[in-house]
Amino acid sequence: MNDNRKVWFITGAGRGMGADIAQAVLAAGHAVVATGRDTDRIAATLGRSENLLPVELDVTSRTDAEAAVLAAVSRFGRIDVLVNNAASFYAGYFEELTPEQVDRQLAVSLIGPMNVTRAILPVMRHQRSGHIISISSSAGLAAGFDFVSAYAASKFGLEGWMESLHAEIAPFGITTTIVNPGFFRTELLTERSTNYAEPSVADYDERRGPLLEYWKSQNGRQSGDPAKLARALVTISSEEPPPRRFIAGADAIATTEQKIADLQAQIEAYRELSTSLDFDREPGAVAT
């Protein structure tokens, strides 16, 4: 066995970015536990290799997550890198998304990574090493546009959870990376992956049509190449330490820079009021 070989555990590896990541990791000589809801599809997409273990895992199932981790450890003995990649996309106005759709968005894209990470952390703690990569989105940093409120809620949640988790697990030698991709040409905007809300509120009628057209027209025209992003993840994961955050794509960098500028402008606009909110000095207190 190659001494530098790491064991990667990837969710949603049967298609889209997850499949590209699995291919890039295998090409770099590492081992892959390629998980997904359909293991036949994983085998068809990734082929066969002694470095590859396809395992069934619906990220909404804690039982699946625990069984997949057991299978991974019994085959490869360890897990070095977890990629929380699987997600869904419920697109539409918040008022037109049903409560069940919002629940499902959060169950797959926020609670799903938590389920898988909870199952893997004991393995990484025992090893005193590991790297957890969670795929967020530009919409996990800046979401000032229509149709993504539920998706953005899941990705902002993912980021807050990851940032705090980092502090909790870094003392065990476990590192974390949040990835913010811009638009990448995967299957995310196909009918298989994007679930649009049913029109139900007439006030949105005029705006809904052009937006639907916009989102559907983006499918197949995204500028980002997921195979390149996959290779970039292999590169950053080999760094000591890996970056806490990786903004993926020129479009994602522009979105992030705008968000930083907006936050700074909001601070400056109210700095005086914001900094005047402490209790007044107690009478008789001595200034230090």
Ligand X SMILES: NC(=O)c1ccc[n+]([C@@H]2O[C@H](COP(=O)([O-])OP(=O)(O)OC[C@H]3O[C@@H](n4cnc5c(N)ncnc54)[C@H](OP(=O)(O)O)[C@@H]3O)[C@@H](O)[C@H]2O)c1
Q: Would you name the residues annotated as active-site residues? A: 151
A 10 A CB-CB count for 235 gives 12
Task: Kindly give, in sequence order, each residue whose CB lies less than 8 Å from that of residue 188, ignoring residues fewer than 6 positions away.
Answer: 16, 89, 194
**Closest distance of CB 27 from ligand X, Å:** 18
Residues that bind ligand X (CB under 6 A): 11-12, 14-18, 36-38, 58-60, 85-88, 108, 135, 137, 181, 183-184, 186-188, 193, 222
* Cβ proximity to ligand X, 18 vs 242, nearer residue: 18
* Cβ proximity to ligand X, 107 vs 212, nearer residue: 107
What element of type H or E holds 11?
none
**Closest distance of CB 136 from ligand X, Å:** 7
Are 84 and 11 in contact, with CB atoms under 8 Å apart?
yes
* Cβ proximity to ligand X, 146 vs 187, nearer residue: 187
**Closest distance of CB 122 from ligand X, Å:** 21
CA 155 – CA 140 distance, rounded (Å): 4
* Cβ proximity to ligand X, 8 vs 184, nearer residue: 184
What element of type H or E holds 55?
strand 52-56
Task: Kindly give, in sequence order, each residue whose CB lies less than 8 Å from that of residue 239, ignoring residues fewer than 6 positions away.
Answer: none
**Closest distance of CB 38 from ligand X, Å:** 6
